[in-house]
Structure formats: C-alpha cells, structure tokens
Amino acid sequence: MTRSTLPLADLRKSYESAELHETASHADPLQQFGQWLDQAISAQVPEPNAMTLATVDSQQRPSTRIVLIKALDPRGIVWFSNYDSRKGQELAANPHAALQFHWVELERVVRIEGRVEKIATEESDAYFNSRPLDSRIGAWASPQSQVISGRSVLVANAAKYAAKFLLQPPRPPHWGGYRLLPERWEFWQGRPSRLHDRLRYTPQDSGWLRERLAP
Ligand SMILES: Cc1cc2nc3c(=O)[nH]c(=O)nc-3n(C[C@H](O)[C@H](O)[C@H](O)COP(=O)(O)O)c2cc1C
C-alpha cells in the first residue's frame, strides 16, 4: 500500500457534542436546516454558508465544487454562478444535483438532493446589483471554467470591463442564480462509538416523512 508521510490510518475523532432526535427535530426539514444554519453562523464556524454542489454530466459522470448559499425560502436553496461554467453546462443537460454542508466544529452534515432551476431574472438582477463593484466586474472578466493563457487575461478583462461600464456594470446574461428544489434531505449528527444520528426526510402527502437511517 502506498504510504503517506502522515499516519492517516490513525487519524480519528470521537463525536460527542450533540444529539439529533426524532422528537426534538422539526417536522419540516427546511426549518430544521434553517435552525442548523443559524447555529453554524452563531458558532462562527469558518464559512458556514459554503456548500459542496455535485452535478452529473451527460455521460453520467459526477463532479463537485464549493458554492455559497445566498438565500433560503420555502421553494429551496439559492446560489449564484456563471451559467456557462462547467457546472452550468452540466445542470443544463441534467438538472438533478446534490448539495452538502459540513460544519466540522458542530459535528454536523446536511445533504440535500433535488432538481435545479434558474431563478427569475429579476431576482438575479437584484442580487447582482447588491454585490461590490469589483465582484460585478469580475463576473464579466472571468470566463469561468474555460482555459485561459494566463492570469493576465483576467487582469486585462477586468480593466476592460471596468473602463466600459464604469460604476454601473449590468448583470452579464451568462451570470445568475440557481435554486435547488429539495426532494430529499438528510441531517447527520456525529455521536460516540460511530453510532451517529441520521434523519432522512422524503416527501409524503403534503408534508415530509422523517426516518432514521443507520449510520
Ligand atoms: C468558499 C468558496 C465559495 C465559492 N463560492 C462560489 C459561488 O458562490 N459561485 C461560484 O460560481 N463559484 C464559487 N466558488 C468557486 C467554485 O468552487 C468553482 O471553482 C467554480 O464555480 C468553477 O466550478 P466549475 O468549473 O465546476 O463550474 C467558491 C469557492 C470557494 C472555495
């Protein structure tokens, strides 16, 4: 077996800080998620709003990257990106995706799966216009996921678009929001002896079925 210079096989941690019980969790997974997100923000974990986004390409091959949750409402979970990026192209071909949060300090994971749609253009405009100017210029300057010949391409593009748009860059047509409409949620709370708590929510009638999964 190839060896790391670090004792990887000996790295392990016992999870002891909290519990997740059927009786103490919300019947609505959106509320449960909102509570855990609030707690992650209050606990000042690093980047509590960062989530892994998994997509699948037209050959059924998965890929992941990190994005930031920017809104949460009864319809689902919103983030922003470049529609022409690798993830944008994969979502256009296959709208089924998965999100995952890992709040290490709280020993918690949330997994969310569902269909993804683009948000309304007015919603994208409103968020784009709330961003700092350099971020708005950056959305124009970066052909996200494309090969570029060097960093100078980005610097030159940023200078070009800053001169073109001055203080009022419009939202690029290739940039905007996505919303994942949850069809399945899982909440994981680490527990001692690897007997972790896992609650899965799937749609049932007009509400949600909440079931415990073995860890
Ligand atoms: C903490 C963090 C937050 C990020 N947030 C976003 C984001 O909200 N939207 C985005 O498009 N990329 C974001 N990125 C960059 C992506 O992880 C990724 O590099 C980029 O979107 C290109 O992915 P793709 O080529 O698979 O489309 C973030 C990266 C990190 C580390």
Give tens-digit pLDDT for 156-211: 999 999 999 999 999 999 999 999 999 999 999 999 999 999 999 999 999 999 99
Residue list, ligand 1 pocket, CB within 6 Å: 47, 50, 63, 65-68, 79-82, 85-87, 144-145
Active site members:
194
Give tens-digit pLDDT for 105-153: 999 999 999 999 999 999 999 999 999 999 999 999 999 999 999 999 9
pLDDT of residue 174: 98
Q: From the CA of 91, how far away is ligand 1's center (Å)?
A: 15
- What are 91-96's contacts with CB under 8 Å, separation 24+? 91/55, 91/116, 91/178, 93/57, 93/58, 94/55, 94/56, 94/57, 94/58, 96/56
Q: From the CA of 81, how far away is ligand 1's center (Å)?
A: 8
Prediction pTM value: 0.96
Which domains occur in the chain, in start order? 15-131+173-212 (2.30.110.10)
